[in-house]
Structure 1
Amino acid sequence: MSDATGSDDGDWEAIIEFRRIGTALQVIAIDPETGREVSMVGDPRLSRHELGRLAAQKLRYVLTKHADQSNG
């Protein structure tokens, strides 16, 4: 299943995918501009909104870290 989620700091969006793996839920966040992606495994008892938000936050961190390394 795919979804898109915005961030708290504007109109940036990430594509969010959910995949059930046994008793866990894998969440993949993809930046549509760069194609960079991150994944995490979460507790399926949490809401998909919360899991998607956390995955998007992780993606934002990775994008920022990559940009900082490219500029330095």
Structure 2
Amino acid sequence: MTAPDIGDVIFEMTRTGAYLKCSAIHVATGLEVSAMGPALQPEALKRVALAKLKRALERS
């Protein structure tokens, strides 16, 4: 996926029972963040991980 303000981002989803872990990796820097939430809402979890990645990029 390409985010207009930060560039290319890769998402990795891992399900464990009723929970889903979403990792977001910034292609240009290799910075990775993750978020966990309900497995029934993967798109919402992607939005959370992307927001977390944007905050992490601002700090670095």
TM over 0.5: yes
- CA-atom RMSD, angstroms? 1.5
Hey, what does 2:48 align to over in structure 1?
A: 54
Identity %: 36
- Count matched residues: 59
Q: How does 1:1-72 map to 2 (within 5 A)?
A: 4=1, 6=3, 10=4, 12-46=7-41, 48-66=42-60
CA gap of 1:60–1:36, structure 2 versus 1, over 3 A, is: same
Q: Can you give the 5+ residue segments of structure 1 that lack an aligned partner in the other structure? A: 67-72
**Is the CA contact 1:5–1:56 (under 8 Å) kept in the aligned structure 2?**
no
CA offsets per residue over residues 9-55 of structure 1, 9 Å max, x none?
Answer: x2523111100012200000000001010011111122x22211110
CA gap of 1:32–1:13, structure 2 versus 1, over 3 A, is: same
Give TM-score, length-normalised by structure 1: 0.70
- Which has the larger Rg? 1
> Where has structure 1 moved over 6 Å in runs of 4 or more?
none
**Is the CA contact 2:8–2:26 (under 8 Å) kept in the aligned structure 1?**
yes
**Is the CA contact 1:18–1:26 (under 8 Å) kept in the aligned structure 2?**
yes
